Amino acid sequence: MKSFRGGTHIPDNKQQTANIPIEIMPVVPDYYVSLAQHIGKPAEPIVEVGQLVKEGELIAKASGFVSANIHSPVCGTIVDIGPYKNATGATTTCIHIKPTGEGTLGYYEPLNDPTAEQIVARIAEAGIVGMGGAGFPTAVKLQPKDKVDTLVINGVECEPYLNCDNRLMLEKPVELLKGIRLIAKALGVSRIYVGIEANKPQAIQTLLAQDGTAPKATEGSTDIVVVPLKTKYPQGAEKTLIYATTKRKVPAGGLPSAVGVVVCNVATAYAVYQAVTLGKPLYERVMTVSGNGIKKPQNLLVRMGTPLKDIVTFCAGLDNCDKLLMGGPMMGKTLVDLSYNLTKTDSGFLALHEDEYVSVLPTACIHCGRCVDVCPMHLEPLYIDFYIQVNDTATAVKYGALDCFECGTCAFVCPARRPLVQSVRLTKQRHREGK
């Protein structure tokens, strides 16, 4: 089974929702659509308070090369455009929309047999961004400066609890493969790998059955190759996935295109299919709601801007919940309450019981070296932690803090419960601020 050096085995806790089909979340009374659902500059609103909008209509325009369009998730009336604080502590400008019930769709014209340029232009129009969590505008990613020859599709979904990508692969395989081929056409590549962890045998079999090409996990293949990968965290991180599928090593500080590769998530590929073939912009996504602290764990199709409290109500409410997380337990954001509205990058919401996470105070590092053994980037997190704690940002950076992608593996295995990821984030922040 293909894999990478380092990483660790963590309980995947996917059984709660692995076999639950995607359900469509009904329309709720209010939507708060953030203008900053992506990496780069926030979008600029092009609507006014009181204006009626269609479902799928453009309501905020990308404000630069690295930015993304935003579309209305419903037919409705704009009631406010302003700052809203959410439960991560961040404040973002949101467009508040009240649905008006039935109405027409504001989709784009479907494209039939589009050129590479038309595909990229449509992806930009539709506001598609990396839906695996990064939120990087996909149209920008598909115009790399380096020459690329390989597309890697990320179907790994190694974060515990989450099943949204798994369910998409099981329920929409034909559409997904069409989306993958559109991305490959946009890039002008013919070598395509779809990496899927071995703990999703049904998804692997489904894609193989749909594509009808059987496994061709060899270099030089000219069609989609489904690559089963060892179940290990963080198998789905971009650099580890590229190594596992192609044996190419992305240099420190480099982008995947430096080794001729572009990586896209399965949800992104599905969004590309919808945008090109149906003309549907990105205004809804599949997410997993799970954990022992939610009464009815589910996989849901939810519109962007849906308040989290409505999602929780649709899942029958909280049950003795001790911790709230947006995203998975390894890389997700802790929420202090339910004041949060869904964005394009939110693949899951977890409500956890106290027995589902560890909450102890850190003690001194015992130099056991476990964090070094597991780091997929071959870093020494204990030294990043040490130097940033003594305010020596420069040395913490020398130990590779900027190459860390915050997978949390080191912190997971640390017997002293050192806040290693927080130390990395602090280093990056101080480095940005020149401190």
User: Which residues make up the interface to ligand SF4 (CB under 6 A)?
Assistant: 365-371, 374-377, 379, 381-382, 385, 404-410, 414-416, 418, 420-421, 424
Between 270 and 399, CB nearer to ligand SF4: 399
Q: Residue 173 is inside which H or E element, if any?
A: helix 173-187
**Which residue shows structure tokens 């030089």?**
220
Contact 189, 148 (CB under 8 A): yes
Between 5 and 296, CB nearer to ligand SF4: 5
Q: How far is the CB of 90 from ligand SF4 (least distance, A)?
A: 21
Between 177 and 424, CB nearer to ligand SF4: 424
Between 208 and 374, CB nearer to ligand SF4: 374
Cβ partners under 8 Å of residue 113, min gap 6: none
Q: How far is the CB of 234 from ligand SF4 (least distance, A)?
A: 7
Contact 41, 68 (CB under 8 A): no
What CA–CA distance (Å, rounded) separates 431 from 222? 43
Q: How far is the CB of 16 from ligand SF4 (least distance, A)?
A: 25
Helix, strand counts (H, E) of the chain: 13, 17
Please tell me whether the peptide bond between 137 and the residue prior to it is cis, using omega within 30 degrees of 0.
Answer: no
What CA–CA distance (Å, rounded) separates 429 from 246? 33
Q: How far is the CB of 10 from ligand SF4 (least distance, A)?
A: 12
What CA–CA distance (Å, rounded) separates 435 from 422? 17
**Which residue shows structure tokens 């205004």?**
283
Between 197 and 385, CB nearer to ligand SF4: 385
Between 153 and 421, CB nearer to ligand SF4: 421
Q: How far is the CB of 41 from ligand SF4 (least distance, A)?
A: 27
Between 254 and 415, CB nearer to ligand SF4: 415
Cβ partners under 8 Å of residue 120, min gap 6: 139, 142, 143, 186
Q: How far is the CB of 343 from ligand SF4 (least distance, A)?
A: 23
Between 239 and 285, CB nearer to ligand SF4: 239
Q: How far is the CB of 410 from ligand SF4 (least distance, A)?
A: 3
Cα-based distances in Å from 268 to 15, 238, 281, 377: 24, 14, 12, 25
Q: Which residue type does 387 have?
A: Y
Between 8 and 221, CB nearer to ligand SF4: 8
Q: How far is the CB of 399 from ligand SF4 (least distance, A)?
A: 9
Kindly tell me the sign of the dihedral angle through the C-alpha atoms of 144, 133, 229, 407.
positive
Contact 112, 95 (CB under 8 A): no
What CA–CA distance (Å, rounded) separates 193 from 220? 11
Q: How far is the CB of 373 from ligand SF4 (least distance, A)?
A: 8
Contact 165, 265 (CB under 8 A): yes
